Amino acid sequence: MTEQDLSDDKFTYQTATFRALGHVFAVRTNDPQVGRLFDELYAACAVEGAPESWYSVLADGPDPGGRSLYFDDEYIAYVEKPNWLLGYVAWRINHEVIARSSGYVLVHAAAASLRDIGIVIPGAPEAGKTTLVAGLVRAGFSYLTDEATAIVPSTLRIEPYPKPLSIDPGSWSVLADLQPSPGDAGGYFDHQWSVPPTSIRTDAVGSAVPPRLFVFPQYRPNAPTSCSPMPRSEILVELLRQTFGVHDHGRHSLEVLAAAVRESRGYRMTVGDLNEAVEAVRGLIEAPEGGEADAAGR
Amino acid sequence: MLQADDIDMTFVGRVRPDVAAEILDGEAVLYHEGNNTVHMLSPTATILWECLDGAVDLDTLVGELSAAYQVDREQMLRDVVAAVQDFGRRGLLVGVRADADVVASSALDPASPGERP
C-alpha cells in the first residue's frame, strides 16, 4: 500500500479544481462517495482551470473503509477508517497552503466580515477560533476562513480561504444546528465535523476586506464573556506569534502587519458563552473609535 | 564584545541592522531577524531606541534629552544606562553580548497549523 501505479484509469471520479490561496489542487478517487464529499466541502474554493496538484484517494487495503492517500506521486498515509480521512487531507491541504502562499502574510487565525469590516480571530490550536467564527457566520457575518488568514501585502486586504469549517467534538453542543447531514457518508464525520460555509448560509462566503478588528479569544466555561482592549503594539506582537513562516519572512511580516494594525483595534476576549461572544463582537464593530472600547488600552 | 552590564555613560550605542522596528502609538515592536525574538518597548524606551544611531555617547545623549524634556540629568542618566543595558541583554545592540536567558524568553516560536492527525 505504499507504492502504487497512479495512472488515470485507476480513478473513476475527479473533483473540480480548488484554489486555496497559493495552492491549486483537485482530488481524484476510485470512490465516488469520497469524490462527491470533497466537491461539496470545497465548493466555495472551486475555480476554472486545471489543478497544479492532485490528492489521490484509493479505496484499497484490507479494511472496509480503508483508504490510501497520495499527494501527487508521494504516498502520504493509509487510514483504516473513514472518520480520519477528511481531517488528514485537510491537514495536508493546510500544510500545502502555508508552503505555497509566500506572497501573503499568513496568520494562524479565523476571519469573518461584516459590512466591509474584517474581523480576525488569531490563536493557537484549541483557542476557540473556529467555534467563534462559526457562531459569527451563523449570526449573519460573512465567512473568510477558520484556519489561515491571508493578508495581501499590496492592498492590506484579507483574501478569503473559505475551506470547510473543521469543528471538533468540544464545540458540537453549541453548534448542533451545523451538524453535517451526510446521508450514507456519516462515517466521515465521527471524529470531526467538516462544514462547508454555504451549508450555514448560501451566501456565507465573503469577499476581500481590510482587517479592522482583531479578537483574541480564550474559552473559559461558564465565565462571563468580556473584552479587554489591547494596545496596538501588543496586538502586533501577538499577531507575529501566530504568523506562519515568520522566521523566513519576519521583517516583511512585521511591516505588513503593523500597517494593518495601525488601522485597527484589538481585544482579548474571554468567551464563556458563544452567543454572548458573537454579540460582543457585534458591539465592538459598532463601538466608536476612542470610546470606552478604545484599543489603546491605556 | 562588551557585556551589557559594562555599558556606562561613555558607551556609543548603535542598534543592530538586523533588528526591524515598527512604532505604533509611540510604542516600538522590534523583530530580531538574527535570533527570531520579538520585543515591545515602552514609549520612553522607544524614544531612546530611536536615538541610538552610533553618533554620540550616552552622556551626550542624556544631555540633549534632559534639556529637551526638562528632566533631572543625573536621574535620566541612570535610567538611560539601565535601559540601554537592557537593550544589550536582549541582543539588540551592535558590539554587545546578549544574555542567553533573556533572549530565550523573547523567542518567537513558529506558528503551526496543528499536529498531523
The CATH class of the B2-106 domain is: alpha beta
> SS3 letters for A178-223?
HCCCCHHHHHHHCCCEEECHHHCCCCCECCCECEEEEEEEEECCCC
pLDDT value for B99: 95
* Cβ-Cβ contacts under 8 Å for B15 (sequence gap 6 or more): B21, B49, B52, B53, B87, B92, B93, B94
Res A230: pLDDT: 97
- Which residue in the set B24, B110, B113 is minimally distant from A94, CB to CB? B113
Mean pLDDT of A123-145: 93
Point out the least confidently predicted range of A63-72, A228-237, A256-265. A63-72
pLDDT given for residue A4 in this prediction = 63
The greatest distance separating any two alpha carbons of chain B, rounded to the nearest whole angstrom, comes to 62
Nearest to A261 among B20, B24, B109 (CB): B24
A92-96, A187-191, B98-102: range with lowest mean pLDDT: A187-191
Which of A91, A240, A261 comes nearest B108 by C-beta? A240
| Residue A99, pLDDT above cutoff 90 | yes
Contact A103, A26 (CB under 8 A): no
The rounded distance, in Å, linking the Cα atoms of A41 and A31 is 16
- What is the three-class DSSP state of A230? coil
Provide the angle, in degrees to the nearest 10, between the axes of the packed helices A85-100 and A32-41: 50
Asked if the C-beta of A250 comes within 8 angstroms of chain B's C-beta atoms, the answer is yes
From chain A, pick out residues whose CB is under 8 angstroms from the CB of B20.
250-251, 254-255
pTM: 0.93
Q: Which of B26, B91, B24, B25 is nearest to A254 (CA)?
A: B24
Average pLDDT over residues B38-58: 95
Specify the DSSP class assigned to residue A66: -
**Chain B residues with beta carbon closer than 8 angstroms to that of A169:** none
Q: How confident is the model at residue A73 (pLDDT cuts 50, 70, 90)?
A: confident
Please report, as a single letter, which amino acid is at residue A3.
Answer: E
Which chain A residues in 67-86 lie under 8 Å from chain B, judged by CB atoms? 84
The whole-angstrom separation of Cα A170 and Cα A195 is 15
Q: Which one of A98, A191, A251 would you mutate to disrupt binding with B, by most B Cβ within 10 Å of its Cβ?
A: A251
Which chain A residues are closer than 8 Å to B108 by Cβ?
A: 240-241, 246-247, 250
Q: What is the mean pLDDT of residues B25-48?
A: 96
Q: How far apart are CA A131 and CA A277, in angstroms?
A: 10
Residue range B41-56: average pLDDT? 95
In which residue are the cell numbers 465592538 written? Answer: A284
Report residue A235 as a C-alpha cell.
496586538
Closest Cα partner for B48 from B5, B109, B93?
Answer: B93
Q: How are beta strands A211-219 and A117-122 bridged, if at all?
A: parallel
Q: Between chains, do B31 and A254 touch, taking CB under 8 Å as contact? A: yes
pLDDT top residue among A220 and A46 = A46
Tell me if B112 and A108 make a contact (CB, 8 A cut-off): yes
| Mean confidence (pLDDT) of chain A | 90
List the beta strands (DSSP E) in chain A.
Answer: 13-14, 17-20, 23-29, 46-47, 53-59, 67-71, 74-79, 105-114, 117-122, 142-145, 148-151, 158-159, 165-167, 193-195, 211-219, 226-229, 265-271
Segment A2-20, tens digit of pLDDT: 556 778 788 999 999 999 9
Select the residue of B29, B108, B114 nearest A246 (Cβ to Cβ): B108
Q: Could you say which residues from 117 to 156 on chain A have a Cβ atom under 8 Å away from some Cβ of chain B?
A: 124-125, 147-148
Q: Which pLDDT value is given to residue A294? A: 39
Q: Which three cell numbers stand for residue A78?
A: 493509509
pLDDT for the residue numbered B117: 66
pLDDT given for residue A231 in this prediction: 97
Cβ atoms < 10 Å from Cβ of A49: 8
A168 CB within 8 Å of a chain B CB? no
Using one digit for the tens of pLDDT, what is the confidence trace for A213-240?
999 999 998 899 999 999 999 999 999 9
Average pLDDT over residues B50-57: 94
d(CA B46, CA B22): 10
Give, as one character, the DSSP assignment of residue A171: G
Q: Are B36 and A147 inside 8 Å of each other by CB?
A: no
Residue B45 CA to residue B83 CA, distance in Å, equals 7
Residue A56 phi, psi dihedral angles, 5° rounding: -110, 130
Question: Is pLDDT above 60 for A90?
Answer: yes
The rounded distance, in Å, linking the Cα atoms of A69 and B108 is 34
pLDDT at residue A290 tops 60: no
Chain B residues close to A250, C-beta within 8 Å:
20, 31, 33, 36, 108
Confidence check: pLDDT of A209 > 80? yes
Three-state secondary structure readout of chain B: CEEHHHCCCCCEEEECCCEEEEEECCEEEEEECCCCEEEECCHHHHHHHHHCEEEEEHHHHHHHHHHHHCCCHHHHHHHHHHHHHHHHHCCCECCEECCHHHHHHCECCCCCCCCCC
- For chain A, say whether B38 makes contact (Cβ under 8 Å): yes
Cα dihedral B106, B112, B116, B117 sign? positive
Mean pLDDT of A29-50: 94
Query: Sign (positive/negative) of CA torsion A101, A233, A129, A215?
Result: negative
Q: Inform me whether the pLDDT recorded for A289 exceeds 70.
A: no
The residue-averaged pLDDT of A188-199 equals 87
Where do the domains of chain B lie? 2-106
